[in-house]
Structure 1
């Protein structure tokens, strides 16, 4: 006899439907990449032995222990993630206590280490990587490979070139770069392009933001994107996707965690030294440093990139590199 399922077991009440809607809206208020970071940080706390909800004393012990092995910026991120968990779950937030704030000030003074930052990509390095990818795309690096491998290497080279140049010249965060959708790109021949980002870290209200790109005579991201789309035959969906060993292009976007090894792999293949000092942030820092070294006004740079305050912008500028490019040669000896 077939199993009869009661309507009551599958239907939801209006109140339950309302809860599902509320949960969906609450989730949409925070970017997926941010939620992933929160979960990862909370897991670090739990693996350490912390309990949730956390007491003030347990949180203090956790932070004091982590201070022996983590940067101050990482501690602040842990604290913010644990704090957000308590707020979302409706518990008293121990991160707001006076004792925890005092502890963080003490750690900052006692362990006053300079925060490690990704090394910026200089224009010379960008040209070197671009040169390598251009040769790879033209199949000039290994003429003995079979046709299938040749096709795959060309696809990878054209995708990587588009990612690199767009990430650099628009100073995009990694998550923003991988969130670009093909249908949100509007190319205006001879003028440039407009790229609409549906969400980003800086777009707190979720309204979306449009970035503009001019045409460039060299290292042009617009031409690189057009070449990638022409070769891949993609017409919609994520712009940047993984490519399997047979040259098949995935349907979904590349993962954010793949960006750092992707960048370091490119540097190694192109022959750039000290690849471990670079990350996906190197494109963003590289553009900011290049713009300042060319005399770009800081306010103009902030408006172009989307920084809201000067302190955020200053963290991305390699002041030594930008100063060296502006100093007369006689002062650099």
Structure 2
């Protein structure tokens, strides 16, 4: 007798879409170092294409480089300019160490990253580090599990059920939000570094179904 295949479960029950992200960000508004760090983690992980928690945990200062400011609206030369930062991704689940893959941060995520790096006095090595109760900063990098726990803690502070979310929700949330905002699938995949069109397009299909007319015929 052959065992039936288990249905594939999503790594996070709910995607961290922009509305959810805004609620998490709202919990990081004090002057505490942990708030500054967690704000940078949340914005970087989401805006850089939904980076995996392992990538966020092992991010090093040497991977970051400031880029020239960019226009808020690329089609309007008089548009305000926003800060820009590049992340050299190095080896990820979908790339090799010698790949030149990178992701860009623009605007608020760059500001948050710069503030954390300055306040934590990060000169080299791991960007995101543990902070004790006296706000002393460890030299060692946070673990991937710590990144996940930070997201869950922020969910609880925002009045959300932490059981419904995991750090992977930032990855699925990025693609879902990209689909909702009309970002092309290839452009979103360049930022997220998804190699599988089938996997990435699943989030686009879900968004199209929710926004389309087919499910609204009985309204």
Q: Normalising by structure 1, what TM-score? A: 0.56
**Cα distance, 1:248 vs. partner?**
1.0
**Cα distance, 1:326 vs. partner?**
5.4
Structure whose CA Rg is larger = 1
Alignment of 1:1-333 (within 5 A): 106-107=2-3, 110-118=4-12, 119-134=14-29, 136-137=30-31, 154-170=32-48, 171-191=50-70, 192-204=84-96, 206-216=97-107, 220-272=108-160, 274-315=161-202, 317=203, 319-321=205-207, 323-325=209-211, 333=219
CA distance in structure 2 between the aligned counterparts of 1:208 and 1:250, rounded to whole angstroms: 30
Q: Normalising by structure 2, what TM-score? A: 0.82
* Cα contact 1:289–1:319 (8 A) shared by 2: no
* Cα contact 1:259–1:279 (8 A) shared by 2: no
Query: What are the superposed Cα offsets for residues 268-287 of structure 1, whole Å, 9 maximum, x if unpaired?
Result: 01222x32111110111100
CA distance in structure 2 between the aligned counterparts of 1:234 and 1:122, rounded to whole angstroms: 30
CA distance in structure 1 between the aligned counterparts of 2:183 and 2:27, rounded to whole angstroms: 29
How many pairs does the alignment contain? 204
CA distance in structure 2 between the aligned counterparts of 1:332 and 1:177, rounded to whole angstroms: 44
Task: Give the direction of change, closer, same or farther, for the CA distance of 1:314–1:123 in structure 2 (3 Å limit).
Answer: same
**Cα distance, 1:327 vs. partner?**
5.4
Moved >3 Å (runs of 4+) = 318-323, 325-328, 330-333
Using CA pairs under 8 Å that are at least 6 residues apart, name the structure with larger relative contact order, 1 or 2: 2
SS at match of 1:239: coil
Query: What are the superposed Cα offsets for residues 29-72 of structure 1, whole Å, 9 maximum, x if unpaired?
Result: xxxxxxxxxxxxxxxxxxxxxxxxxxxxxxxxxxxxxxxxxxxx
Task: Give the direction of change, closer, same or farther, for the CA distance of 1:302–1:188 in structure 2 (3 Å limit).
Answer: closer
Structure 1, unmatched stretches of 5+, are 1-102, 138-153
Query: What are the superposed Cα offsets for residues 256-307 of structure 1, whole Å, 9 maximum, x if unpaired?
Result: 12222221111001222x3211111011110000001112222222222212
CA distance in structure 2 between the aligned counterparts of 1:332 and 1:325, rounded to whole angstroms: 15
Q: Which has the higher helix share?
A: 1
CA distance in structure 1 between the aligned counterparts of 2:113 and 2:128, rounded to whole angstroms: 10
RMSD: 2.5
